[in-house]
Structure formats: structure tokens, C-alpha cells
């Protein structure tokens, strides 16, 4: 694997050159937290962040996305036509994305790029995006990425993996998209691979050693679906939930959406917007019937989807990258690690035949 040394004195100038070819998005401080935001010309990403409050999913899957506009007003140009936005996915580079957020795109892709349906909006944005990742040297107290198949130095879902090595970055070139970005930025200091990999390995071991939080997921597949569905612990798990939806909006692996038309007079737009399985309206039918009308049903759905249905459907682990955001931000301290333990323990119970 090719590894490039980027002196920090060359960092800003390289980003400036790359901005001629890419729309740059990067961590930006807002009050006491960070978000991934488009970088204004000449503004550098703030690489001092630990992790962002919202995940990077909105860089590919916007919280609100106009699918098309329309007008029935005969005085308007193109009236009675559905007009799709033009050039909405220019080449984009997400600078400093953490490995967990990049790994989430791999999980989410299974939904948006299925054999029988490919979502053109998500796929087009994903294909036009370069993920310039920053390895994580200071995992937070709620991070458990090593339990969900990833790690603070896991570059498999990235195009470039940067390690912050004092006065320079070492950049592993993971993909052709990453190589193209390096070329546009003009960073050319290739270093000897074995020596650089030793630095990566040492930093990786030190970072993983700081992860204090783990969950076991090895028996989730063994648990009977209906036994889990009917498990007695759901009332306790759901008791304090206020169905605020924070957990799902923060989560890089939650993908539910709604489609709504907004009309003003004779014109309007059709929007795809994030939705949440924690909201009562999410499943309410036109008849008024709601199959998940009770809070406990919605909380159970969130965890069953992430830790059972996804596990069984894709056989590729849980629908969670262990970023810890929902753990930290849930206002009533509902903790997916504890729920996972309950569900995994259920999978350890011997199946008894009552026939
Ligand atoms: S963040 Fe907590 S309280 Fe809000 S919907 Fe999620 S589990 Fe419920
Ligand atoms: S479920 Fe929680 S810990 Fe897992 S990816 Fe989503 S926000 Fe992160």
C-alpha cells in the first residue's frame, strides 16, 4: 500500500489546491460541539475534534433533499413538468471523517444498493464522494467500534486514512479515489511502506488500548426472533424513552425517511426527509391504524432492527458502528450496549422444545 507523508505546513495549501476540483466538507466547531459542514473558501477543517455530534451521514444523505419541483401555473416556465435539481452531487471530499462514520456507509449501502433496488440519489452522492479519513487516537468513553467489526485505525471503508503523527500526517492510500485526491492536492512525499506501517500499527494498538467499552454480539444470530420480540425486558428498556428521535437522527447507520410534498399556491416540491422509527407518525396508516402505536413497540423496533433483523438479513454483523453518539446524547440514558447485552444473553439460552 502506498503511504504519503504530508507535512502540516503543506496541509492547508494542498486542501486549497484540491478545492479547485472538490467541494470540501470538514469538521467545524459550533459552540461546544463539532459538525461536518461545507468549508468556506480558505477555511481549513478543525482537525482537533474528537468526534462530531451529528454523524457524517448527511454529507451523502441530506436531512432534507428536494427530489423535484413542479408548477401548475401556466405562466411559469416548464409548468406541468417535474424538474429535478441540476448538478447536486459535485465531486466532494469529506475531510477528517472518522473510520466509524465511513464504516456506516458500508452498512447503509446494503439498504440503498440492494439487488432488487438501487437508490439513485444515495448512490450518486456516494460515488461522487471521497472519504479522507482521520484515524482516532482518543476514543471516547462510549466508543465501542472494536465490538462492531471496526476500529479507530480501520481504513477499509475509507479512500484515504490519515494518522496524525506530530508535525505531519501519514496517509494510507486505500483506493483510486484517494489517490486522485492526493494528486489534486499535490502531496507527493511517498515514504517507505514498512517503516510507516510500523508507525500505524503502534498508533493503532495505543488507540485500541484506550477503548474501554465493549459489547458481545456473538449470540444475536442464535436468539429466536419471536423469543426476542416477546422478551420480558422491553417494558423496562422503553420505560424512560420520550420518543424524541435523537438517537436515530444522530446515528450514522439509521436510514429511515419520509416523502412529503410542500406546496405554495400552484407550485411545490417533493422532499425526502429523515424520519425516525421512534416517532408515532412513522408507521401510522392512512386509516388511522398504527401497528407501532405504543412506545414500547417503537423502542423494541429500533433495537430489533439494529441487533436482530439486520443481523439475520445480511449476515454481516449488527447495524451499528459503535460510535457511541446515542449513548452520550439520549436524554434519559437508554444505552444500546446494555440492550445488546440483554439480547445477546437471550441468544445464549438453550432452546427448549415444548411440544
Ligand atoms: S434518544 Fe433516548 S429518549 Fe430519545 S428516542 Fe432515542 S432512546 Fe428514546
Ligand atoms: S446505534 Fe448508537 S452507537 Fe451504534 S452507530 Fe448508531 S448512534 Fe452509533
* Rg from Cα positions in the chain: 22
The whole-number average pLDDT for the span 193-202 is 96
Going by alpha carbons, the residue nearest to atom 2 of ligand 2 is 326
Atom of ligand 2 nearest to the CA of 323: 8
Q: Where does the pLDDT of residue 265 fall: very low under 50, low under 70, confident under 90, or very high at 90 and above? A: very high
242 alpha carbon – ligand 1 mean position (Å): 6
Mean pLDDT across 29-51: 94
Please give the pLDDT value at position 353: 52
Residue ranges per structural domain of the chain? 3-209, 225-348
Query: Given a cut of 80, is residue 162 above it in pLDDT?
Result: yes
pLDDT at 281: 95
Interval 69-107: pLDDT, tens:
999 999 999 999 999 999 889 999 999 999 999 999 999
Q: What is the dihedral of CA 271, 243, 299, 326, to 10 degrees?
A: 80
Residue 354 has pLDDT above 70, yes or no: no
Ligand 2 centre to CA of 31 (Å) is 23
Looking at the CA of 334, name the nearest ligand: 1
Whole-number pLDDT of residue 350: 57
pLDDT range class, residue 351, cuts 50, 70, 90: low
Q: Which three cell numbers stand for residue 118?
A: 438501487
Atom of ligand 1 nearest to the CA of 326: 1
Q: Dihedral of the CA atoms 249, 105, 326, 88 (nearest 10)?
A: -30
pTM given for the model: 0.95
Please report the pLDDT score of residue 87 as a whole number: 85
Give the residue, by CA position, lying nearest to ligand 1 atom 4. Answer: 244
Checking DSSP bridges between strand 92-97 and strand 113-114, what pairing results, if any? unpaired
Atom 4 in ligand 2: residue holding the nearest Cα: 320
- Residue of 1 and 53 predicted with greater confidence: 53
pLDDT greater than 60 at residue 45: yes
Strand residue runs (E) in 103-256: 113-114, 117-118, 129-134, 160-165, 168-173, 189-190
> pLDDT tens digits, residue range 302-335?
999 999 999 999 999 999 999 999 999 999 999 9
Ligand 1 binding pocket includes 241 (Cβ within 6 Å): yes
Q: Whose CA is nearest to atom 8 of ligand 1?
A: 241
Cα–ligand 2 centroid distance for 323 (angstroms): 5
Q: Is the CB of 130 under 6 A from ligand 1?
A: no
- In three-state secondary structure terms, 68 is strand
Atom of ligand 1 nearest to the CA of 245: 5
pLDDT above 60 for 139: yes
- The pocket around ligand 2, CB under 6 angstroms, is made up of 250-253, 306, 320-326, 336
- What is the C-alpha to C-alpha distance for residues 318 and 251, in angstroms, rounded to an integer? 13
Local confidence band at 352 (pLDDT 50, 70, 90 cut-offs): low
Which residue is associated with the grid cell 474528537?
50
pLDDT band at 349 (very low <50, low <70, confident <90, very high): confident
Ligand 1 neighbourhood includes 278 CB (under 6 angstroms): yes
- Check: CB of residue 70 under 8 Å from CB of residue 83: yes
pLDDT in tens, 211-249: 999 999 999 999 999 999 999 999 999 999 999 999 999
Q: For the beta carbon of residue 313, count every other beta carbon within 10 angstroms.
A: 12
H or E element, residue 7: strand 3-7
Average pLDDT on 192-197 reads 95
CB 326 within 8 A of CB 246: yes
Alpha carbon of 150 to ligand 2 centroid (Å): 13
pLDDT at residue 1 in the model: 86
Question: How far, in Å, from the CA of 9 to the mean position of ligand 1?
Answer: 43
Amino acid at each position: 500500500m502506498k503511504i504519503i507523508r504530508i507535512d502540516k505546513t503543506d496541509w492547508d495549501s494542498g486542501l486549497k489546491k484540491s478545492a479547485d476540483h472538490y467541494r470540501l466538507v470538514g469538521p467545524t466547531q459550533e459552540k461546544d460541539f463539532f459538525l461536518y459542514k461545507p468549508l468556506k473558501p480558505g477555511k481549513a477543517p478543525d482537525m482537533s475534534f474528537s468526534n462530531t455530534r451529528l454523524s457524517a451521514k448527511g454529507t451523502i444523505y441530506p436531512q432534507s433533499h428536494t427530489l423535484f419541483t413542479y408548477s401548475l401555473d401556466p405562466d411559469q416556465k416548464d409548468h406541468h413538468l417535474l424538474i429535478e435539481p441540476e448538478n447536486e452531487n459535485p465531486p466532494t471530499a469529506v475531510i477528517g471523517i472518522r473510520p466509524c462514520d465511513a464504516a456506516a456507509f458500508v452498512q447503509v449501502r446494503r439498504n440503498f444498493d440492494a439487488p432488487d433496488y438501487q437508490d439513485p440519489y444515495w448512490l450518486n452522492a456516494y460515488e461522487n464522494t471521497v472519504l479522507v479519513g482521520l484515524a482516532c487516537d482518543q476514543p471516547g468513553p462510549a466508543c465501542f467500534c472494536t465490538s462492531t467489526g471496526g476500529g479507530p485505525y480501520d481504513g477499509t471503508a475509507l479512500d484515504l486514512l490519515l494518522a496524525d503523527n506530530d508535525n505531519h500526517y501519514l496517509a494510507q492510500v486505500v483506493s483510486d479515489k484517494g489517490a486522485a485526491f492526493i494528486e489534486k492536492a499535490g502531496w507527493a512525499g511517498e515514504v517507505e511502506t514498512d517503516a510507516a506501517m510500523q508507525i500505524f500499527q503502534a498508533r493503532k494498538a495505543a488507540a485500541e488500548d484506550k477503548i474501554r467499552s465493549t459489547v458481545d454480539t456473538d449470540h444475536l444470530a442464535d436468539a429466536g426472533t419471536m423469543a426476542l420480540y416477546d422478551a420480558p425486558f422491553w417494558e423496562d428498556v422503553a420505560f424512560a424513552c420520550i420518543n424524541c428521535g435523537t438517537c436515530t437522527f444522530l446515528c450514522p447507520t439509521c436510514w429511515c425517511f419520509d416523502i412529503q410534498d410542500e406546496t405554495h399556491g400552484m407550485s411545490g416540491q417533493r422532499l425526502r426527509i429523515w424520519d425516525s422509527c421512534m416517532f408515532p407518525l412513522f408507521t401510522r396508516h392512512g386509516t388511522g391504524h398504527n401497528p407501532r402505536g405504543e412506545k414500547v413497540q417503537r423502542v423494541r423496533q429500533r433495537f430489533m432492527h439494529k441487533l436482530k433483523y439486520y443481523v439475520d438479513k445480511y449476515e454481516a454483523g449488527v447495524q451499528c458502528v459503535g460510535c457511541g453518539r446515542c449513548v452520550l446524547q439520549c436524554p434519559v440514558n437508554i444505552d444500546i450496549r446494555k440492550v445488546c447485552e440483554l439480547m445477546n444473553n437471550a441468544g445464549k439460552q438453550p432452546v427448549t422444545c415444548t411440544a
